[in-house]
Amino acid sequence: MGRLNGKIAVVTGAADGIGHAIAEAMAREGAHVFASDIADAKGEAFAAGLRSQGLAADYVHCDVAVEADIRNLIETAVKKGGRLDVLVNNAAISIGGMPVYEMTDEQWHRLIAVNLTSVFRGCKFALPHMIGQKSGSIINLASAQGHIGLDGWTAYAGAKGAIHSMTRQMAVEFGPHNVRVNSISPGTIATPMNDQVIAELGEHIARAWVKMHPLGRIGRPSEIAEAAVYLASDAAGFTTGTDLRVDGGLTAAPRFVPDLV
Ligand SMILES: NC(=O)c1ccc[n+]([C@@H]2O[C@H](COP(=O)([O-])OP(=O)(O)OC[C@H]3O[C@@H](n4cnc5c(N)ncnc54)[C@H](O)[C@@H]3O)[C@@H](O)[C@H]2O)c1
């Protein structure tokens, strides 16, 4: 018996990285997963792979920076699944590694559209369904960087900090409808997003990441997926408005790493 048997779950940015791991874990736990992304070939192959293992999965194209795409994603899941139990607002991009005064307005607006406005829109379209059925779990992917500072990531951290406070706000507002809203703040996780950061900033950054985490390593996408499955499940029925830090201790003991550069 899976922990998410019979639940209808939507995951954004599910073709790769953390979203991929979350969608797969949720499907293995019995959910019917609507995986979405802009990487359509990868996403289609992913959903087909899950179906070939007897799991319930569909792929829906959704650019989270496009309002109509998010509306379509939610409506498709509700139409096919008959309800909506779980929304994972996961998709995001990393634009940073530069002082804020070097960031262009265009970069700022792009980052906010993909990383923050997407969360607003996902919730906006999902909430009426969840309120109507008097249950639901929204899981927003935030970041350790919403809690602590790191050179060069002002805009990214700003969006993640906003996700923390929007999560608390919605938990309070929609708790009376039995809709739970939580966030997960990962530490550094081995995903294509971080491969890109290493490619842009250099290998030394990967060594620094390991040192910054008290557990002495970076995390695996499956470790974030495990937290998401918990928050989506009935086992977390009394958990709302929380930010679950899955960060190897990063934010418990921010470390000064003198040989960072
Ligand atoms: N990797 C980390 O160390 C880390 C740490 C903290 C928080 N996070 C957060 O976890 C989430 C997932 O990060 P990740 O590392 O797996 O990222 P990733 O870049 O490895 O994967 C992101 C996925 O989102 C998709 N995507 C990108 N732009 C999109 C768009 N406009 N619309 C829809 N999909 C889009 C990509 O195609 C990809 O499949 C993000 O919210 C990220 O901010 C990641």
What pLDDT digit, counting tens, does each position of 211-254 carry?
999 999 999 999 999 999 999 999 999 999 999 999 999 999 86
- Indicate which residue's Cα is closest to atom 43 of ligand 1: 92
Is the pLDDT reported for residue 208 higher than 60?
Answer: yes
Residue 202 backbone zone (phi > 0: left; psi -120 to 50: alpha; other: beta): left
The pLDDT value given to residue 261: 47
Instruction: Give the range among 135-139, 168-172, 215-219, 256-260 with minimum mean pLDDT.
Output: 256-260
- Which one, of 242, 252, 114, 259, lies nearest residue 170 by Cα? 242
Q: Is 251 a pocket residue for ligand 1 (Cβ < 6 Å)?
A: no
Q: Identify whether the C-beta of residue 139 lies closer than 8 Å to the C-beta of residue 231.
A: yes
Which of 37, 193, 244, when mutated, tests ligand 1's pocket best, judged by the most ligand atoms within 8 Å of its CB? 193
> Domains plus CATH for the chain?
8-246 (3.40.50.720)
Q: Identify whether the C-beta of residue 122 lies closer than 8 Å to the C-beta of residue 64.
A: yes
What pLDDT digit, counting tens, does each position of 159-174 carry?
999 999 999 999 999 9
The pLDDT value given to residue 151: 87
Which of 59, 101, 156, 230 is catalytic? The answer is 156
Collapsing DSSP states into helix, strand and coil, what is residue 253? coil
Q: Is 113 a pocket residue for ligand 1 (Cβ < 6 Å)?
A: no
- Indicate which residue's Cα is closest to atom 11 of ligand 1: 90
**Is residue 156 flagged as an active site residue?**
yes
The pLDDT value given to residue 260: 52
Classify each residue of 20-32 as buried b or exposed e, where b means 16 or more C-beta atoms within 10 Å of its C-beta: bbbbbbbbbbbbb
The pLDDT value given to residue 259: 56
Q: Is 114 a pocket residue for ligand 1 (Cβ < 6 Å)?
A: yes
The pLDDT value given to residue 183: 99
What pLDDT digit, counting tens, does each position of 61-107 carry?
999 999 999 999 999 999 999 999 999 999 999 999 899 999 999 99
- Under the banding of pLDDT at 50, 70 and 90, the label for residue 189 is very high
Q: Is 186 a pocket residue for ligand 1 (Cβ < 6 Å)?
A: yes
What pLDDT digit, counting tens, does each position of 103-124 carry?
999 999 999 999 999 999 999 9
Can you tell me the distance from the alpha carbon of 124 to that of 31, in angstroms, rounded to the nearest whole number?
22
Q: How many other β-carbons are positioned within 10 Å of the β-carbon of residue 51?
A: 14
Is the pLDDT reported for residue 197 higher than 90?
Answer: no
94 CA from centroid of ligand 1 (Å):
8
In the DSSP assignment, the letter for residue 243 is E
Residue 38 backbone zone (phi > 0: left; psi -120 to 50: alpha; other: beta): alpha
User: Would you state the structure tokens that stand for residue 155, as one six-digit string?
Assistant: 């805009």
Phi, psi of 212 (to 5 degrees): -70, -20
- Which one, of 64, 76, 80, 30, lies nearest residue 50 by Cα? 30
Q: Is 226 a pocket residue for ligand 1 (Cβ < 6 Å)?
A: no
What pLDDT digit, counting tens, does each position of 8-28 carry?
999 999 999 999 999 999 999
Q: What is the share, in percent, of the chain residues with pLDDT greater than 70?
A: 97
Instruction: State whether the Cα torsion 245-250-253-254 is positive or negative.
Output: negative
The pLDDT value given to residue 31: 98
Does 25 or 202 have the greater pLDDT score?
A: 25
Residue 78 class from Cβ within 10 Å (0-12 exposed, 13-18 middle, 19+ buried)? buried
Can you tell me the distance from the alpha carbon of 86 to that of 112, in angstroms, rounded to the nearest whole number?
23
The pLDDT value given to residue 257: 61
The pLDDT value given to residue 117: 98
Can you tell me the distance from the alpha carbon of 204 to that of 157, in angstroms, rounded to the nearest whole number?
21
> Which are the contacts of 79, defined by CB distance < 8 A and separation ≥ 6?
none
